[in-house]
Amino acid sequence: MKALLLVDIQNGFCPGGNLPVLDGHEVVPIANRLIESGKYDLIVASQDWHPAGHGSFASSHPGKQPFELGTLSGKPQMMWPDHCVQGTTDAELHPDLKMGKIDLILQKGENHSVDSYSAFRDNDQDALTGLAHFLEGQEVTDLDVCGLATDYCVKFSALDATEMMPGVRVRFIEDASRGISPEGVAAAIEEMREHGIDIITSRQVLDG
Ligand code: VGL
Ligand code: ZN
């Protein structure tokens, strides 16, 4: 079984959102081509889904500004602008994303006191979302990962996929992803490559 994981393609990470990724919306038509390609047996979308006042928000920490390093539950934590608050437009998947063929929408980041970049488990590597068991239950052999943001949720999801589902071939679709910082994206791609993740383009999927 071949699966596609679309990470956090939400209003909040697109221009006009609360934590916009440069040109984040450009992944939407590419994701749609992948969704409609017929190349995948299973398509999962993750959704960053924070309660108001989440501990990753700078606004929850007096004196902290967004994009400063702070702490959360005693561990280093990037302070983010308030984003993807449950039930708000910011948290909705991008309205142009073709939802009809998405088999599962998986929400994450609901625990106030720990962030969850990965779609598989929280940043403490403690609470599981159930995605690994779900994919294993579906006998997934190949997982392609893309979306927003390359240097955070996409990278952590792809790395967890290799660690938690040994034997599954994991690929990162570069042109179907955008990141928060150029240096972060370069480092993330290198790290994924070092962990055996193939870096591919959507063209390779569509022509494959
Ligand atoms: C993300 C920062 C905070 C992401 C989510 O989806 O990459 N980044 N929350
Ligand atoms: Zn978040």
In this predicted model, what pLDDT tens digit does every residue of 152-198 receive, in sequence order? 999 999 999 999 999 999 999 999 999 999 999 999 999 999 999 99
Alpha-carbon dihedral sign for residues 77, 82, 87, 88: negative
Summary count for the chain: helices (H), strands (E): 5, 8
- Which ipTM score applies to this complex? 0.98
- The binding-site residues of ligand 1, defined as CB within 6 angstroms of any ligand atom, are 8, 13, 48, 80, 117, 148-149, 152-153
Active site residue 8: yes
In this predicted model, what pLDDT tens digit does every residue of 99-115 receive, in sequence order? 999 999 999 999 999 99
Closest CA to 175 of 203, 196, 208, 151: 203
Query: Count of CB atoms within 10 A of residue 166's CB?
Result: 7
Catalytic site residue from 14, 84, 146, 153? 153
What predicted TM-score, i.e. pTM, was given to this entire model? 0.98
Mean pLDDT along residues 62-67: 97
The pLDDT of residue 132: 98
Fold of 2-51+82-207: Rossmann fold (3.40.50)
Ligand positioned closest to the Cα atom of 154: 1
